[in-house]
Structure formats: structure tokens, C-alpha cells
Amino acid sequence: MSDPTPAAPAAGMQRLATVLNSVAVGNPVQLRALRERAALHVLDWLGNAAFGTTTVTGQAFGRWLAMQAPGKQPTLAGCGADAAAAAAYHGALGSLLEMDDVHRSAILHTGPVVVPAALAAAAPACSGARLLDAVVVGVEAMVRVGRTLGPSHYRFWHSTGTAGCFGAAAAAAQVLALSGLQTAHALALAGTRAGGLWQVRHESSQGKAWHMAGAAREGLAAAQLAACGLTGPLGVVEGESGWLAATAAGGDVSRLDEARDGPWLWDLSFKPWPACRHAHPAMDACRELLAARPTSADEIEAIEVHTYADALRFCDRVHPETEAQARFSIPHALAAWALWGEPALEHYRESALTEPRVVALRGRVRLFEDAAVQSRYPEHYGARVVLLRRDGSRSEHELRDTWGDPARAMPTSAIQAKAAMLMRAAGWPDSRTEAALAACAALPQAADLDALHRVIIGAP
């Protein structure tokens, strides 16, 4: 008797959906800790998005929102919108300050996509725990897809937009209580709509925000369509015409369901400063040098930054002309720190970009690719900074991980203080800021989303 024909391996999206089904499950102590952590990411998104409404790009999206159909979903524009428009609008806001959460090895930002999609899928009666579980599941999907696609994909594709579509679909599917097969089809449908090219970074463009907006909206729609019975190509990642074949030479499909001890949410980093994460290792190392031996800008002959290739590719910008460009400039970040200390929002205003002392010092910051630092990337975002003084002395400091990474975590109080600072900078009164902090902290036990919704729409 011949052996039975072995069953074909499950398609990638089926395998991913199986993993997601087990993520938000555990003993009560583990679940409570996981949901409390997810609530901090909701708060972090809310602070970033609040400030995002004040920016030129955020205001453009506000005008776009006013052109869409009204609805019941509360928005930071102070009005209700339908779910799709709310997801897109909120998706656009969370990354405009470049202070959004980040996952290192997936090379993407989860909060700006996952949180808006989960919120848009949720009805007011949705419990806080269900919303937070959706955030956990959305992060899991987004990180696993991002790690699958890998660094070669990131060279041309904005992983927050591409992998983000999968994360948004997973988050919405969790809120909508889809079955495992429905979730797999939601992920597959989302994958057919994912996108976002890095050309937005090579021109003076506001298109980057549209990537997150589109990912949140399309992921939400994919979950809704799967709930209605629509099916998608379950091999959208690993198939012959899927994402790996088209965009990710060297990608690894086994990472979709690789085993690990806990959810990927625990591996996310918070960003303390208003700049691209690729600039943070150099900023952090410079901070350590200046703390060890205070040195005025006039005393600095040059600053050498030895870091990984993507930091140079995205942030080797000596002459930024806009706030957005300055956030992607290591020379500006270090010059501003040497002149004015701990980064503040005003250090990235256009008036600061042309200040003669900062212009002069930016020209004395030199960037180099470092083989040792590169070998650890993207698992670790590091840098070695050398400070050369006019008196001939030099000092250097090397970091393997950056403040805000799990290995050097920001405490809860610092994350809350960051969110409060951004809300106040957005013009929120203390009462609304305090209500936001309280509503997010209470989400793990909240019976509904009323308190959070009232904060979002600005209701007293």
C-alpha cells in the first residue's frame, strides 16, 4: 500500500492567522501586563496624533476629512466620520512628528496604523480589553510580515505602509471577532492592496503620511470584506507573484510563524525625541558624550558618526530646508543638541534651521558606515560617535541599543510625560490632557470606549 500523499503546506496567511489566534491568550496576570503595555501604545499614538493635527500635513488631511461622508466615529478633527475616513485620517496623523513607536528588526512603526484601524473597527460598546487585544494582534501581524519582507524590501518600500496593511487587517479582524479562516482572508485581501514607495523621501513630499492612512483604511476594509465572505489569495506573501518574489530578495517566509516566547509587542521601542529613529543612536551617543564632559558648540572641531547604512541613507542631510527634512538629519540633530541641549519641538522649526551657529556646526558633522554597527542592524540600532575638540582632545562613545529600546526602556512615567507634552503643544487644555492619560490607563478594565471617544472628539 503506497504512502498517502503529504498534505500541502498551509499558505502563509493561514499560518499567520493561526499564530494570531494564540497571541492574545494567556493567564490573567500575563494578559493584564500585555494590555497595560498596549494601552501605553494607544496613549503614545494619541499624543503624536494630537500634535499631528496642528501640522501643515495634518491640516490638509483635516480638510480632506471634511470632504468625506459624516459618520459616527469620533475623530481628532472634532467631528464624526465614517469608519473608513476615520481610519485614514487618524492613520495620517500619528507619524508626522517622527516620534511614533518603532520595531527595529521589522523596520517599521506600528502605532500609526494599528491603533487607528482598531479604533475605526470598534463600536462604542467595545470593551477596552477587546480594543487592546486588537492592538496586540495587529502589532504581531505587522511585525511578522515586516520581518518576513526584510531589509531588501525596505530599500525601496515603506514597510510601515506595506506590512502595515496586514497589521490593520489583523487588528480590525480581532475587533470584529472573525474566525481564523476569515482572518486569513482579511490578511490576504489587505496584502493585495498594500503599498508605499520611498520616493516620498527623495522629494519634498508629504506623501509618507498617505502610506499610513491608506494602510489603516485598506486593512479595515479587508477585514470588513472578509466578514462579508470575500476571499483573498492566501499565498499573497510567498506565492510566485507575491510580495517576496516581487519586492523582497532574501525575504524569509518562515518568519510569518516563527516560534517565540511572547508577543512581539514586548519588543517595540518608544521614541523620546522628534526625529527619525535612524538618527536616535547618534543623538543618544552624543548625549552621553556631552554629559560626561560638557562641551560648548564653539569648542567642537568636528563630530564623527559611525553607524549603519540605513542611517546614512535616510539621515545624512547637511542642509535640511523644512521641518520634515530636519527630522531626517543626523547633522541637524547633533548640532541642535550641542547648541541647545535636550531636543525640543522648537529645535526643528524652520527658523532654527537657518540659525548661523547651527548651520556652521551641521557642516562639521561627518557620517561614516561602520561595519561592526552594520553587522548588528536591524536587530540593534547603534552608533559610535567621536567628538573632536579644538584643543586637540577627543572622546567617543558607542551604543549597541538606543534609549527607548527594550534593552534601555523608557519608564512608564516618561512615556506618559511625552504624551502629555505633545497634547499640550497641540493646544489641549490640561483637563483634556489629564482625561486622555486617565482614559488610556483605564482601558484594560473599561467596559466601553466612551471615555476615550470623548477625549478624541474633544467633548467636555
The DSSP code sequence of 369-411 is E-HHHHHHTTT---EEEEEEETTS-EEEEEESS-BTBGGGPPP
277-403, what's its fold?
Answer: 60s Ribosomal Protein L30; Chain: A; (3.30.1330)
- Looking at residue 6, its pLDDT comes to 55
- Those residues with Cβ within 8 angstroms of residue 106's Cβ, 6 or more apart along the chain or in another chain: 142, 143, 144, 145, 146, 147, 159, 163, 264, 378
Region for 246 from its dihedrals, namely left if φ exceeds 0, alpha if ψ lies in -120 to 50, beta otherwise: alpha
Distance CA 87, CA 78 (A): 14
- Looking at residue 29, its pLDDT comes to 80
Across-strand partners of 386? 304, 396
Alpha carbons within 13 A on the beta-carbon side of 398: 10
- Looking at residue 14, its pLDDT comes to 97
Phi, psi of 99 (to 5 degrees): -120, 20
**Domain spans of the chain?**
12-267, 277-403
Helix (H) / strand (E) containing 307:
strand 300-307
- Looking at residue 1, its pLDDT comes to 42
Helix (H) / strand (E) containing 368:
strand 365-369
- Those residues with Cβ within 8 angstroms of residue 57's Cβ, 6 or more apart along the chain or in another chain: 92, 96, 206, 209
- Do residues 15 and 256 make contact, with C-beta atoms less than 8 angstroms apart? yes
- Looking at residue 4, its pLDDT comes to 55
Q: Rounded to two decimals, what is the model's pTM?
A: 0.95
Distance CA 138, CA 166 (A): 8
* Cis status, amide bond into 378, omega within 30 of 0: yes
Per-residue pLDDT of the chain (460 residues), as tens digits, is 445 555 567 899 999 999 999 997 777 888 999 999 999 999 999 999 999 999 999 999 999 999 999 999 999 999 999 999 999 999 999 999 999 999 999 999 999 999 999 999 999 999 999 999 999 999 999 999 999 999 999 999 999 999 999 999 999 999 999 999 999 999 999 999 999 999 998 888 999 999 999 999 999 999 999 999 999 999 999 999 999 999 999 999 999 999 999 999 999 999 999 999 999 999 999 999 999 999 999 999 999 999 999 999 999 999 999 998 999 999 999 999 999 999 999 999 999 999 999 999 999 999 999 999 999 999 999 999 999 999 999 999 999 999 999 999 999 999 999 999 999 999 999 999 999 999 999 999 999 999 999 999 999 8
Instruction: Provide the 3-class DSSP secondary structure of residue 74.
Output: strand
- Those residues with Cβ within 8 angstroms of residue 3's Cβ, 6 or more apart along the chain or in another chain: none
Q: Does domain 12-267 have CATH number 1.10.4100.10?
A: yes
